[in-house]
Amino acid sequence: MLKLAINISLAEQIVAFGEGVLLAERGGIDRRLAVDVMTASAIGSPLLKGRAPLLVDPTGPVWFDIAMMQKDLGLALDAGRRLGVPLPTTTATNDLLTLARRLGYERRDVASVHEALADLADRR
């Protein structure tokens, strides 16, 4: 249960970071600069600092793929239903990972959600 509790936070942090980097990029900020400044800011957790290179170079190693993260989110959502705990941000993150998988990111590192968000933005 503790692993699930940790992984929902990890997934949500990575998604929020990817959203922020994409917003900065689409606003004209260089991706590397956005990643460097954001990870040096108050949001620069060890997780984000560790995953930052995978946003700068999305072809990097796969540490924890989207399919595995979504499996854990599904287990956490099941536990939340069973225990009567609402998990709205986990639900939203899970929905985004479902879209990422449909776009072919299933076996990519969860940090590649940034690229999936960019693909979604380009389709609008």
Q: Are 58 and 117 in contact (CB under 8 A)?
A: no
Question: Over the stretch 43-59, which tens digit does the pLDDT of each residue have?
Answer: 999 888 988 888 888 77
Report how far apart the first and last C-alpha atoms of the chain are (Å, whole number): 38
d(C-alpha 94, C-alpha 66), whole Å: 10
**Separation between Cα atoms, residue 88 and residue 26, nearest integer Å:** 27
Residues of the chain predicted below pLDDT 50 = none
Tell me which CATH code domain 2-122 carries. 1.10.1040.10
Residue 57: predicted pLDDT: 81
pLDDT at 55: 82
Its pTM stands at: 0.90
Residue spans of the domains in the chain: they are 2-122
